[in-house]
Amino acid sequence: MLSDRLMTKAPKSAAEGTETASETPRGDREMIAGLSRGLSVIRAFSAGGPFCTLTEIANITGLSPAAARRCLHTLEELGYAGRVGRRFFLRPRVLELSAAYLDSINPEALAREYLQEIASASGQSSSLAVLDGGDVIYLARVGARRIVRLEASVGTRYPAYATALGRVLLAGLPEDMLDQYLRTTEFKKLTRRTLTEPDKLAKAIQDAGEDGYAIVEDELAIGVLSIAVPVKNKAGEVVAAINCSAQTGETTQKGLKQYLPILRETAARISSALLHFPTLVPVSIR
């Protein structure tokens, strides 16, 4: 198994030196340090690109070259990574790691049974997303049949603060977690209209919570307009969000708001069907 192989540690030599603090579990004796390192190496390809050298992987992850080399060798032996010369790359087998989650979510059913109604009624795109760290990650989507400025698909990530989906998800966080997010996140200007001031973002998130929806225009990308509502479980906790997204040349914020009733109706239907999607749980910030 992947976890068994990654937790196997080779004896250290003088050349290897000691491992850095980032390579050891922090405060949790149940945590498998080797598995944590291996997953960090896999994630490093998102930041470093499809082909990375050992040195690049070590720099991105904060691992020592020796630890990064052992992780890459293990992933290579298990068929999750390959190499061309000095450059490593991920193999398609990595998709197996996400397949179980996607199977439990059943994005095809979400799109077919729920999001399609929004797309059909509005003629626009509709998506369902959850909060993962400081990003929204798309789990299901029905796209409008036209060329769009910013195309998303299952697995796409965007910064939560710059999206309507993200703001309704952030509005569902406990107050202390939201405060931590606002204090520790680096808010970058994605367009000239992106809100990056923490106090203004806090107000926008508060408004999303009080209004039960968020609408964002030209903040993630110029020409992109989106309205989103939260999906809640029976306890009233926000577990996901759905949206209706359009191009600014086709409609206005007022025009998009006319689809609030169907968005809220669909969110309520998904809430009632959450037993069919057991891995949708309350969102959190890590």
Residues 136 and 8 in one domain: no
Q: What is the mean pLDDT of each run of 10 residues along the chain (286 residues)?
A: 34 38 53 85 82 93 93 91 90 73 65 86 92 89 64 82 97 93 95 96 97 97 96 90 92 94 94 72 61
Helix, strand, coil share (%) of the chain residues, nearest 5: 45, 20, 35
Please give the span between the terminal C-alpha atoms of the chain, in angstroms, as a whole number.
26
pLDDT given at position 92: 79
Residues 9 and 85 in one domain: yes
Residues 130 and 238 in one domain: yes
CA atoms within 13 A on the CB side of 95: 6
Residues 39 and 153 in one domain: no
pLDDT given at position 60: 94
Residues 189 and 174 in one domain: yes
Residue 92 has which token pair?
């398609």
Instruction: Round to whole Å and give the CA distance between 144 and 124.
Output: 5
pLDDT given at position 145: 59
Instruction: Provide the domain limits for residue 43.
Output: 2-90
Phi/psi-derived region of residue 45, left when phi > 0, alpha when psi is between -120 and 50, beta in every other case: alpha
Residues 46 and 102 in one domain: no
CATH, residue 81? 1.10.10.10
Residues 86 and 227 in one domain: no
Residues 204 and 129 in one domain: yes
Residues 171 and 240 in one domain: yes
| Residue 142: strand, helix, or coil | strand
Residue 208 has which token pair?
């999303």
| Residue 123: strand, helix, or coil | coil
pLDDT given at position 74: 92
DSSP assigned state of 208:
H
Return the bridge partners of 214, or none.
Answer: 228
CA distances 134 to 1, 72, 161, 169, 217, Å, are 30, 27, 8, 10, 20
- Which residue, 57, 90, 123, sits at the end of a domain? 90
pLDDT given at position 70: 93
CA torsion 161-168-220-194 (nearest 10°) is -50
Return the bridge partners of 209, or none.
Answer: none
CATH, residue 135? 3.30.450.40
In the numeric block, the tokens 């109604």 are attached to: 117
The DSSP secondary structure of 16-68, one letter per residue, reads T-PPPGGGS-SS-TTS-HHHHHHHHHHHHHHHH-SSEEHHHHHHHHT--HHHH
- 179 lies in a domain? yes
Instruction: Round to whole Å and give the CA distance between 242 and 266.
Output: 9
Residue 256 has which token pair?
């998009």
pLDDT given at position 21: 38
How many distinct structural domains can be found in the chain? 2
- Which residue, 90, 116, 136, sits at the end of a domain? 90
